[in-house]
A and B are shown apart, each in its own frame.
Chain A
Amino acid sequence: MSSKLLWQIVLSLTTVVPAAMAPGAYAQFSDPASEPLSAMTVPQAQLMQPAELAAMLKAGGAQQPVMLQVGSHVMFAQAHIPGSRYAGPGSQLSGLQLLEKAVALTPKPKLIVIYCGCCPWNRCPNIGPAFQRLHNLGFTNVKALYLPNNFGDDWMARGYAVAKGE
């Protein structure tokens, strides 16, 4: 074995092994190789404020975005943005597969707004992976609804429209 190849193996082990052994909040995810990206990785320019989305919904018309909730299904069933579909959780492989299915027929330039609101933004395990997956699929107009605290406080409590059920 060449020393170069041996060095490459050593380098890869220093990233793979620590990730595989990392304890903590994400230990339950089925695919340890895809540890969730933080929502903080979404570029500032791709964030959408709740007031902006609410105004867009209020205006109606043909330019409505595709809206996808990429968090908890239990929370989606309690309350979600009218017209949005469930496509998560982004932190799990099964959720990302659901997301891919949800956008399979969506034109690549179409505005897609993803949201979660499961927990404080800097702790959300769902937005980051979902955003990255859509980017990797070639969607060029993806925004993440910025909910700094949670869906209840940052959307519903502000009087914006909500719907219940599946």
Chain B
Amino acid sequence: MCAVLLCGFDVPAQSSLELVGKTAPEFVRSDLAGREVDLKKNRGKVVLLNFWATWCAPCQVELPEFERWQHAYGAQGLQVIAISMDDGDAPVRRTVRRLHLDFPVLMGDAKLGEAYGGVLGLPVTLLIDREGKVVSQFKGETDLGEMESQVKQLLAR
């Protein structure tokens, strides 16, 4: 009966977990500073793609760390891109200022969330290798030490 209830409803074609091993869905969007962010143009870099929101407490713990990693590993090819799933940009801009975030911060929406398999809980972070392939995903409160370790391994390739 659950399958019957699902019939006729649209569900994401693949969960974000199923993106691991596949090319990250492309997007071109402007960040809060008005700069164009084209995911495809980051080929050759290791991309840390983070979905977050201002009301998400674990996200507030992660973002300063990501800022630190951007500075520490940027020269080796790390690019952090943060996508806010807030309903409006005002609180996002305040948070960006408060946390002094230098990496691109974009406003996400349902369409972008669906492209990534449905972002139905935060935070979600995808690590994308230099060829544009999603190599790992972290959801919820996560071990940032493990994530950083994977970032360093990808940068070393």
Contact = CB atoms under 8 A, between A and B. Distances in A.
Interface of A: 24-29, 54, 57-58, 72-75, 77-79, 82, 89, 91, 117-120, 123, 125-126, 149-153, 156-157, 159-164
Contacts of B12: 78-79
22 contacts: A25-B56, A26-B55, A27-B98, A28-B91, A29-B55, A57-B5, A74-B113, A75-B113, A79-B118, A82-B9, A117-B121, A119-B58, A149-B140, A150-B122, A151-B121, A152-B119, A153-B121, A156-B118, A159-B2, A161-B2, A162-B9, A163-B10
Given A25-B56, A78-B110, A159 B1 contact: no
Nearest to B53: A72
Contacts, number: 123
A84 B54 CA distance: 24
A29 B5 CA distance: 37
B6 A25 contact: no
Contact of A78 (B59, B118, B123, B141): B118
A160 B9 contact: no
Interface residues of B, number: 39
A73 B85 CA distance: 9
B120 A79 contact: yes
Nearest to B9: A163
B3 interface: yes
A74 B121 contact: no
B42 interface: no
B120 to A, nearest CB: 3
B136 interface: no
B58 A152 contact: no
A29 B11 CA distance: 32
B55 A91 contact: yes
A110 B6 CA distance: 27
A54 B2 contact: yes
A25 B120 CA distance: 19
Given A117-B120, A118-B56, A72 B140 contact: no
B121 A28 contact: no
A123 B118 contact: no
Given A25-B59, A72-B55, 17 more contacts: A27-B94, A27-B98, A28-B54, A28-B91, A28-B94, A54-B2, A58-B5, A78-B119, A79-B11, A118-B121, A119-B56, A123-B57, A149-B140, A160-B5, A162-B11, A163-B9, A164-B10
